[in-house]
Amino acid sequence: MLICSSRDEMKRREAALRFIAALLNQEGRSSLYDLSGLAGGFPVKKSDLNLLETYSGPAIFSSNLQKEGTQHLGGEKVAAFNRTSAAILATLLALVKPGEEVIHYLPELPSHPSIPRSVKLQGASYREFDNLQDFQLTDETSLVIITGSTMDHKVLPLTDFNRIIQISHAKQIPVMVDDASGARIRTVIYDQPRALDMGADLVVTSTDKLMDGPRAGLMAGNSSLIDRIQDKAHQFGLEAQPPIVAGIVRALENFKPQRILDSLERRDKLHKIAGNVFKGVEKTPTGFMISAANLENEITPEGNDNLTKRELATLMAMVLLREHHMVTIPAVGMPGVSDTIRLDISSKDAERVDDNQIIQALKESLEVVREIIPDEEASLSVLYE
Amino acid sequence: MLICSSRDEMKRREAALRFIAALLNQEGRSSLYDLSGLAGGFPVKKSDLNLLETYSGPAIFSSNLQKEGTQHLGGEKVAAFNRTSAAILATLLALVKPGEEVIHYLPELPSHPSIPRSVKLQGASYREFDNLQDFQLTDETSLVIITGSTMDHKVLPLTDFNRIIQISHAKQIPVMVDDASGARIRTVIYDQPRALDMGADLVVTSTDKLMDGPRAGLMAGNSSLIDRIQDKAHQFGLEAQPPIVAGIVRALENFKPQRILDSLERRDKLHKIAGNVFKGVEKTPTGFMISAANLENEITPEGNDNLTKRELATLMAMVLLREHHMVTIPAVGMPGVSDTIRLDISSKDAERVDDNQIIQALKESLEVVREIIPDEEASLSVLYE
């Protein structure tokens, strides 16, 4: 056993960050390729810097946030939160009372834990569905949440979207769409309408997903609902602070849907080449991925008794980082993070690395993992040193 | 009636921010004097900018945060939160179970609402005390919170501090100190020890109070408690994001206690001159203030039936902003904010404005307020236009 606890996972993350820090200090930012799809970014201008104070910041950036935010998401008003999870917590505190019920509809069960967790904190009850047959509201339902696309980028069909909104509104229940990545994946890649244009009352998106903004939540929708949610956010310290708001504004200004579309052709090509080299490579909306199970088959086709598939995938991600300076989620994610190796071709850094480099990095890392797994000491050092 | 609702207060804040935005755009940052004591700041270096991403940011700044944070606050480990309120919420979620009790001891009742509000959300009970005679723990008490200094900068005596920690630890109950401003006011001005050096298990401070960091919460203390609190923070999106962490690190690096001490002499001088001009000017640890009641006596000594003291103080703050470009809390604060006109002489911008300028601004603004109050239209335009 190489990874025994979430404490070990934290140690692995810290080792990855230490490696990145040393690399950045020695060779600069251009030596690193963050293909996680969650690099985030902070594209404020140097001239913005001395304006990012508690009062000057909102003075300058609030009206731009309204303009850029409503242009991106639609709706009457927007508000920015420290994270999408914080936006969801604020929404539940504002719109749901203890004892009421929240219904969650998503492309595939189960939900990201942040939603049921916040519902529970507010003392409300929670049910989740992924098909229209089972979906049912009760007299206690006070909020319906729809997830537009999952963490694995599975997208909700348009018919489900429309039907859920219709059923909920027939009972005067507000609908919030958790469109963390969906606000771009659904609209840019799948050509679906924006959540608010389909009649949802609220939508929230993560400004670090498929765009180069900071990790933060941007919510839009009905003005009086936004006011109530923002009020709760201020009470508990959930709102985005001025520097983050400025980062969101600049990222929205820079956002080019065309860059995502341009990456699709390259993705298809890379997916095909990678598929010739490894079995079980799967296409994603913005790149390709190898699940831990498929990776295990590839690394030890004869099976192995010693290491779990999560351990193998984590080793692979750490080797990709150490040997090829490529950042993927299993290396840098928090404990409990997905163990799928996902390469995001729409990410900014993907422009600086060519197809051959990516395929070679995967091939060579696979070889290195095969070589080190019999050597526990070497494996531990790759994970934690 | 000029201010009828919290909606009106929001409109007043928006008008103030609009004025600040126009001023900054036309005349630059040096035309503004933020004397609120809550200006915040974001002193990251230009060379930091391209490192403030989701993974690169913590890679570079996490170890500096530990180093600078423990140097400032003591303790084994630190963690950064989006706001001090968010840090308090995370602490309650991590250390207190529903049905348990939180006891709060502070220099003067009542508490800042963020503490009882978070206790209630977690389903625990809450009692607060400001004297040792009444203070009492029960078998249900699972956390004791001490406020080191209030929003009005009233400081807890050292004997109370020591006694509360002693009583709590005798029953193995952890003690968290809310030292939002106290971590600097208490230690630098009142020469008290740091909270953790007095034996508290946790301390949290606001990095925009008496230092030039962003609005954020920095917590330090026992390593295993910090780990549990940080885990809850990640679950609900309460942790500070990489750009904010970088701002905190740079602000801690820049922090000079001597600047606060240097401002005291100037404060004493200004307080004396101001006292010769207005009745009811009071000294604060970092400047001086005029309460709304004292301001009312000064503006309309014969009494007035039309305007509340909050309306008069808000008018005064808006005139100070519009005519003299001086930012005080009643102009820019959120609805429900304190209506005391407080000038913080330890704030960065105070260095760019001389004593005479401050006294003249106060005198002239007082005259303007006296002149416009009979004219409702003029008053409304100062507040909201």
Give me the interface pTM, i.e. the ipTM.
0.91
Give the single-character DSSP code of B319.
Answer: H
Confirm if B46 and A323 have CB atoms less than 8 A apart: no
- Contact yes or no for B42 and A332 at CB 8 A: no
Nearest chain A Cα to B334, which residue? A234
Q: Which of A156, A163, A186, A157 is nearest to A72 (CA)?
A: A186
Rg of the Cα atoms in chain B: 22
pLDDT value at A290 more than 80 = yes
Q: DSSP for A257-303, please give it.
A: HHHHHHHHHHHHHHHHHHHHHSTTEEEETTEEEE-HHHHHHHH-TT-
H or E segment at B256?
A: none
Please name the residues in contact with A240: beta carbons below 8 A apart, sequence gap of 6 or more: A80, A81, A82, A216, A217, A248
Give the residue range(s) of CATH 3.40.640.10 domains in chain A.
Answer: 46-254
Q: Measure A238 CA to nearest chain B CA, in Å.
A: 7
Alpha-carbon distances of A200 from A189, A190, A195, B128, rounded to whole Å? 20, 18, 6, 43
Task: For residues A350 and A353, give the distance between their C-alpha atoms in angstroms, rounded to a whole number.
Answer: 5
Chain A residues within 8 A of B235 when measuring between CB atoms: 85, 113-114, 117
Give the angle subtended at the CA of A229 by the CAs of A103 and A148, to the nearest 5°: 45
CA separation for the pair B127, B116 (Å, rounded): 8
**What's the pLDDT tens digit per position in B14-48?**
999 999 999 988 998 899 999 998 888 888 888 88
Residue B329 and residue B320: Cα distance in Å, rounded? 11
- Where b means 16+ CB within 10 Å and e means fewer, A8-45 reads bbebbbbbbbebbbebbeeeeeeebbbbbbbbbbbbbe
Local confidence band at A99 (pLDDT 50, 70, 90 cut-offs): very high
C-alpha dist (Å) from residue B259 to B35, B254, B256, B318, B346 = 15, 11, 6, 28, 7
Contact A34 B24 (CB under 8 A): no
Query: Could you give the CA distance from residue A168 to residue A11 in angstroms, rounded to a whole number?
Result: 45
Please state, in angstroms and rounded to a whole number, the distance separating the CA atoms of residues A133 and A273: 40
Rounded Cα–Cα distance for residues B179 and B20 (Å): 30
Which positions in chain B touch A82 (Cβ < 8 Å)? 82, 86, 237-239, 241
Going by the DSSP 8-state scheme, the letter that residue B288 receives in this structure is: E
Contact B219/B87 with Cβ under 8 angstroms? yes
CB neighbours of residue B8 within 10 Å: 18
**Residue of chain B nearest A235, judged by CA positions:** B114
- Is the pLDDT reported for residue A289 higher than 80? yes
Name the one residue in this structure whose structure tokens are 């001090």. Answer: B84
Cβ–Cβ gap A58/B17 under 8 Å:
yes
Q: Which amino acid is at A126?
A: Y
Distances (CA, A) of A11 to A312, B15, B224: 16, 49, 15
Write the burial class of residue A191 (CB in 10 Å: 0-12 exposed, 13-18 middle, 19+ buried).
exposed
Given A41, A56, A113, which is nearest B53 (Cβ)?
A41
Which band of pLDDT confidence, cut at 50, 70 and 90, is reported for residue B167? Answer: very high
CA distance B334 to A64: 20
State the pLDDT at residue A26. Answer: 92
What pLDDT score was predicted for residue A227? Answer: 92
How many C-alpha atoms does A211 have within 13 Å on its Cβ side?
29
Q: Beta strands A175-178 and A141-147: pairing type?
A: parallel
Choose among A17, A38, A214: nearest Cβ to B59: A17
| Chain segment A185-211, per-residue pLDDT in tens | 999 999 999 999 999 999 999 999 999
* Dihedral of alpha carbons A72, A73, A76, A82, sign: negative
Contact A42, A190 (CB under 8 A): no
Reported as a pLDDT band with limits 50, 70 and 90, residue B58 is confident
Reduced to 3 states, what is the DSSP secondary structure of residue A191? coil
CA nearest to B37, candidates B256, B190, B215, B177: B215
Q: Which of A105, A109, A75 is nearest to A229 (CA)?
A: A75
Measured between CA atoms, the residue of chain B closest to residue A32 is: B56
Largest CA distance in chain A: 63
> What local confidence, expressed as pLDDT, does residue B53 receive?
82
Q: What is the mean pLDDT of chain A?
A: 93
In CATH, the number for domain B6-31+257-384 is 3.90.1150.70
Q: Is A18 helix (H, G, I), strand (E, B) or coil?
A: helix
Residue in A with minimal Cα distance to B63 = A18
Each residue's pLDDT tens digit, A41-80: 888 888 888 788 888 888 888 889 999 999 999 999 999 9
Residue B16: list chain A partners with CB under 8 A: 55, 59
Q: CATH number of the domain at B46-254, please?
A: 3.40.640.10
Could you give the count of Cα atoms lying within 13 Å of B352 in the half-sphere of its Cβ? 12
Q: What percent of chain A has pLDDT over 70?
A: 100
How many whole angstroms separate alpha carbon B285 and alpha carbon B184?
Answer: 11
Answer whether residue A255 shows pLDDT above 90: yes
Better-scored residue on pLDDT, A187 or B302? A187
Place of tokens 């009970």: B125
- Going by C-beta distance under 8 Å and a sequence separation of 6 or more, which residues neighbour residue A139? none
> Of all helices (H) and strands (E), which one includes residue A54?
none
* CB count in 10 Å sphere of residue A88: 28
Give just the sign of the alpha carbon dihedral A129, A132, A137, A142.
Answer: positive
Q: CA nearest B120 in A: which residue?
A: A122
DSSP-assigned letters across all residues of B134-167: T----TTEEEEEEESB-TT--B--HHHHHHHHHH
CB B49 within 8 A of CB A42: yes
Q: Which of B226, B189, B233, B231 is nearest to B65 (CA)?
A: B226
How many other CB atoms are found less than 10 A from the CB of residue A264?
17
DSSP codes joined into one string, B326-371 = EE-HHHHSPTT----EEEETTSGGGGGS-HHHHHHHHHHHHHHHHH
Mean pLDDT score, A158-178: 97
Q: Per the CB < 8 Å rule, is A52 touching B238?
A: no
Three-state DSSP class for A344? strand
pLDDT in tens, A320-370: 999 999 999 999 998 888 899 999 998 889 999 999 999 999 999 999 999
- Cα–Cα distance between A382 and A317 in angstroms, integer? 10
**B243 and A242 in contact by Cβ < 8 A?**
no
List the strands of the sheet with B341-344, edge to edge. Answer: B281-284, B287-290, B341-344
Mean pLDDT of B184-196: 96
pLDDT over threshold 80, residue B384: yes
- Give the confidence band of B318 by pLDDT, cuts at 50, 70, 90: very high
Contacts of A87 in chain B (CB under 8 A): 237
Which of B278 and B218 is assigned the larger pLDDT? B218
**CA A264/CA A285 separation, integer angstroms:** 8
Can you tell me the distance from the alpha carbon of B366 to that of B313, in angstroms, rounded to the nearest whole number? Answer: 10
Cis, bond preceding A110 (omega within 30 deg of 0) = yes
For the cut 80, the answer to whether the pLDDT of residue B305 exceeds it is: no
- Please check whether residue A323 is in contact with residue A364, taking contact to mean a CB–CB distance below 8 angstroms: yes
User: CB–CB of A238 and B243 under 8 A?
Assistant: no
Residues on chain A touching B62 (C-beta within 8 angstroms)? 17
Tally of CB atoms within 10 A around B228: 15
Query: What residues in A contact B17, CB-CB < 8 Å?
Result: 55, 58-59, 62
The answer to whether B382 touches B1, Cβ cutoff 8 Å, is no
Whether B182 contacts B149, CB under 8 Å: yes
Interface probe with A: pick from B53, B96, B111, most Cβ of A within 10 Å: B53
Residue ranges, comma separated, of all CATH 3.90.1150.70 domains in chain A are: 6-31+257-384
Count CA atoms within 13 Å of residue A359 on its CB side.
Answer: 15
Between CA B335 and CA B6 the distance in angstroms is: 5
Which of B38, B76, B45, B82 is closest to B61 using CA atoms? B45
